[in-house]
Amino acid sequence: MDRVLEADASRVTIQPDGFCGSITFVCKAPGDELPNWDNVNWSARDDGLNLSKGQWQRIKRKAVAVFRDKRGFRRHSRRPL
């Protein structure tokens, strides 16, 4: 299971399952905008990580879900709670 090491409304750090390093995602979306694939940057990567495309997409989806949760959005709704 991928572990969320640190999270707030603009930054999420995830340690992929089976890896020592971590990835930090930074959300470029304004505070009231729902994060999606386009406005989340892959801002940092530990040199020791060698993720497959599938692993990378799974971790990015998790980061987007954490951003949505931290910003108070429902999973399938664009409106804040």
Q: Using one digit for the tens of pLDDT, what is the confidence trace for 24-62?
A: 888 877 666 777 767 776 655 555 677 888 888 898 889
Residues 6+ apart with CB under 8 A from 36: 29, 64
Q: Is the pTM of this model over 0.75?
A: no
DSSP conformation class of 33? S
User: Does residue 80 lie in a domain region?
Assistant: no
User: Does residue 79 lie in a domain region?
Assistant: no
Burial 60-77 (b: 16+ CB within 10 A, else e): bebbbebbbebbebeeee
Half-sphere exposure of 52 (CA within 13 A, CB side): 5
User: Does residue 81 lie in a domain region?
Assistant: no
Domain of residue 23, residue span: 3-70
User: Does residue 53 lie in a domain region?
Assistant: yes
User: Does residue 75 lie in a domain region?
Assistant: no
Among all chains, which residue has been given the structure tokens 């954490």? 66
Whether residue 4 is predicted with pLDDT greater than 90 in this model: the reply is yes
Give me the number of domains the chain comprises: 1
Residues comprising the chain, all counted: 81
User: Does residue 54 lie in a domain region?
Assistant: yes
User: Does residue 30 lie in a domain region?
Assistant: yes
